[in-house]
Amino acid sequence: MIGDDNTYLTNFRSRLELPGIIDVHTHFMPEQVMAKVWAYFDSAGPLVGREWPIAYRDDEQVRLKTLRDFGVRAFTSLVYPHKPDMAAWLNEWSADFAERTPDCLHTATFYPEHYADSYVEAAIERGARVFKVHVQVGDFHPGDPLLNPVWGMIEDAGIPVLIHCGSGPAPGEYTGPEPIAGLLQRYPRLRLIIAHMGTPEYSEFLDLAEEYPGVHLDTTMVWTDFTEASAPFPTAEHGRLRALSERILFGSDFPNIPYSYGHSIFALERLELGDSWLRQVCYRNAVRLFDIT
Ligand SMILES: [Zn+2]
């Protein structure tokens, strides 16, 4: 299957004359944290909600080679805390990871805690290029007052924040579009990347993208057979996918996906939004947003 994927993805890139694919939504994390994440998926716990066999459960070096063999030129190492006193340590790890992995965009994260501004400032100084927030796993309100200095700093720095804030695969107390709408009212210049196109609140998050020019969306898991079975994307919104083509970025959730990597790209191709849409989504938009050379 993976061999077939390599052929499929090579043909995809050469047909579109793309130098590579940029995947804004991949996970690399400390080994013991990844082991816990995998154990959680294996248990089909309440935040996952269904059976979820992980397709790329390999050692870190194998996973890196797999991604590069797929033609992925740049990617992220999205880490996220589920409790206090964890984010600063995760940030140290991902800064080191980015140093030894030049094709990985240096990623950082934060949690509502009194010293969040100090480690976020340190991460920005060290060159963080994307922040990750997971509202459901973190179980905090994105507008928590403890985060005011953090959002202000990140808005001023213009660094994108990839935020899992939709209510899929299972809702949390603070998931959904309302907390994000409130956040954007206060910080309208924020560059947000709404993970999973906001699954399942697709239309509401497209509304926010229309209203705020800094709002982007990532395609992670959307339009795959897996997601279409539980949270189908409304075909009535295809017009807005075209209109917002500059704001949509390819993401995969590698390695934690229950199907082959190529299927994530195939899911975009079969939308039939055209080659130039695919070029923007799979490469050009990320080059521009992250200033990738
Ligand atoms: Zn993810």
Q: Residue 274's CB: how many other CB atoms inside 10 A? A: 11
Which parts of 126-274 fold into alpha helices (H)?
Answer: 135-138, 148-157, 177-186, 202-211, 225-228, 238-243, 261-269
- What amino acid occupies position 190? L
pLDDT score recorded for residue 2: 55
Strand ranges of the sheet holding 104-105, from the earlier edge strand across to the other edge: 21-23, 72-76, 104-105
All residue ranges of the chain with pLDDT < 50 are: 1
* Strand, coil or helix: 109: strand
235 CA → ligand 1 middle, Å: 24
* Residue 162 CA, ligand 1 centroid: distance in Å: 10
User: What pLDDT does residue 4 have?
Assistant: 87
26 CA → ligand 1 middle, Å: 6
- Tell me which residue of 32, 106, 31 sits closest to 63, measured CA to CA: 31
Interval between CA 90 and ligand 1 midpoint (Å)? 16
What is the per-residue burial (b if ≥16 Cβ within 10 Å, else e) of 17-50?
Answer: ebebbbbbbbbbbbeebbeebeebbeeeeebbee
**pLDDT tens sequence across 12-53:** 999 999 999 999 999 999 999 999 999 988 887 777 778 888
Residues 226-255: tens digit of each pLDDT: 999 999 999 999 999 999 999 999 999 999
Tokens 């080059």 correspond to: 287
Q: How much is the pLDDT for 85?
A: 97
Q: How far apart are CA 166 and CA 205, in angstroms?
A: 8
Ion ligand 1, residue ranges at CB < 5 A: 253
DSSP 195: G
Alpha carbon distances (Å) from 271 to 58, 172, 203, 264: 31, 30, 17, 12
| 3-state secondary structure at position 114 | coil
Cα 27 to averaged position of ligand 1 atoms, centre (Å): 7
CA of 270 to the centre of ligand 1 (A): 22
Q: Is 258 left (phi over 0), alpha (psi -120 to 50) or beta?
A: alpha
- Residue 236 CA to residue 116 CA, distance in Å, equals 41
Centre of ligand 1 to C-alpha 259, Å, is: 14
Q: How far is residue 149's CA from residue 288's CA, in Å, rounded to a whole number?
A: 27
Q: How far is the CA of 25 from the centre of ligand 1 (A)?
A: 6
Q: Which two tokens stand for residue 53?
A: 């066999």
Phi/psi zone of residue 124: left (φ > 0), alpha (ψ -120 to 50 degrees), beta? alpha
